[in-house]
Amino acid sequence: MQETAEFRRWWQTRWIMAGAVLASALPMLWPSLPPLVDLPGHLGSYRIIVEAGQQPLDRHYAVHWALIGNLGVELLVMLLHPLMDVESATHLIVGLIPPLTVAAMLWLAHEAHGRIPPAAAFAFPLAYALPFQLGFLNYVLSGTLVIAGLALWIRLARNHATWMRIAVFLPIAGVVWTCHSFGWVLLGFFVFGAEWAIRRGRGQRLVPATLFAGLTCAPMLWPQVLAMIHGSHGAAVTGGWLDWIYKAQWLSSLLRERWHVYDVGCAIVLGLLLWAAVRSKQLAMIPVLGVPALIGGLAFVILPPFFMGGAFINARVLPYAVMMSLLAIHARNDVTETRLAIGGAAFFAMRTATTIVAFGLFIAERRVELAPLPLMPRGAGVLTLVSEPWEDVWLNPRLSHVAGIAIARRRIFTNEQWASAGQQIIEPRHPTAAPFDRDPSQLMLDAERPGGSSDLDHAIATFDRRTFGYVWTIGFPEGRARATDLVPIWQSDRSALYRVVDRSVPRPAVPVTRRSYR
């Protein structure tokens, strides 16, 4: 009988848990950089940071170190740079985030339930949820620390006094805030919810439980207080409160990757499971994770997409709220447990396999666009203009920041780097190139579409020829950049590299490298 019980709980064995962690790393084992939207831009910024004060990048970018909550991967890359190149260090760090996230989920689930619940595997694909796909590297790194931190908080609450939790989490709050300030907010949300649930479970009344949970978490405010004293805070760009259309889009985009119907269908599966956990008598949610999940859900509903200079704030919190909800589920009988475990394992395996395929296709497409990099002189100024798909186009080719790879490999100056006050430590040194000196000036939207904010023809006509000696168009048909002083030196069916020439000086004909990828 004991053997039967052990067999039914195969999902709790160490081999299965280790296999889940390793399986979550498989999509990141490609020899090329993971195809995350913002990752190339981050890669370029890491090159600028580690070579600060060195030519040719020092001629193009200034690095101003400051106390900002957005430096997690930057500091890790700097730590590894003496041992390996920036590109290898970035790949290693980013590649470790999904398996570490899954490992943190397993730890949290074990601390909360006393064992691994059968529905846990349904949460594992959220390690690759929308914030990771968008390449919000510092945020997802902080998210991993938040999950592990919550597990540690629950463990300490079971075995130690309140003052011990406060003392341990003072430095943890600083580390999480340094990685990403909104990850630190997420830590506060979840720890408060767990502490409140723990106190209520011990019989404390509603008001005292709320008051003492808040007081217990209050010392973790110190990083943001220190940043405000030093005047290091984000640009006050805030908007989109209670925009229900955007919130509905984020819900459907929870597992957005490449295939619309498939990705939305998988999100619906998770939604139905959560609905069953609330309604079915066979399932229930434990409060120590359910309350943090509820707080995260309320934050998703209330918060705007843009807050204090940060973008997609509510979309960032959603996967972690869903993750907490899934990890909170427990079954009331053996049959339901087994069915949940089998369903979760199949769901996780399916999402892992399709992520591997999707990443392979994205990498192949990006490799085509990187073909002209050898033609860019080291340290040159290259204006990058990328055709950006509209939000209603599910398949994003993920080329918005591809020029960051050119910064990392060719040390060029281009217009895709972020340079928001209080958010980044990098500043372009070419004021005459404005507005084409920073993100998002590289993104070209169709001016004929409602809301179109930029136009390729206008950019070609007005960019600063003294700063940029080359123009790199991505996603536009050949010859789309029309100007008498632009000479194509490389072309494909959908991209081109042009050299800026002075038409007043006779020049020999420029050979054009032609590639067809139809």
Give the pLDDT confidence of 81-135 residue by residue, as tens digits.
999 999 999 999 999 999 999 999 999 999 999 999 999 999 999 999 999 999 9
Strands 329-331 and 443-444: unpaired
R_g over Cα of the chain: 25
SS3 278: helix
Is it true that the peptide bond before 208 is cis, omega within 30 degrees of 0? no
Distances (CA, A) of 345 to 23, 270, 423: 11, 13, 39
pLDDT at 310 over 80: no
| Cα gap 471→481, rounded to integer Å | 9
pLDDT at 236 over 80: no
Show the beta-strand stretches assigned E in 263-381.
283-285, 306-307, 310-311, 329-331
Model confidence pLDDT, tens digit, residues 248-273: 888 999 999 999 999 999 999 999 99
B/e letters for 9-18, b = 16+ CB within 10 Å, e = fewer, are bebbeeebbe
Residues near 306 by beta carbon (within 8 Å), at least 6 away in sequence? 237, 238, 239, 240, 312, 313
Q: Give the N- to C-terminal CA distance of the chain in Å, as an integer.
A: 62
Q: Residue 234's closest CA among 193, 271, 184? A: 184
User: Which band of pLDDT confidence, cut at 50, 70 and 90, is reported for residue 517?
Assistant: very low
| Cα gap 345→358, rounded to integer Å | 20
What pLDDT does 2 receive? 46
What pLDDT does 230 receive? 73
H-state helical runs in 55-85 = 57-60, 72-80
What pLDDT does 453 receive? 46
Write down the pTM of the prediction: 0.91
Strands 382-387 and 306-307: unpaired
What pLDDT does 309 receive? 61
- % of the chain at pLDDT higher than 90: 74
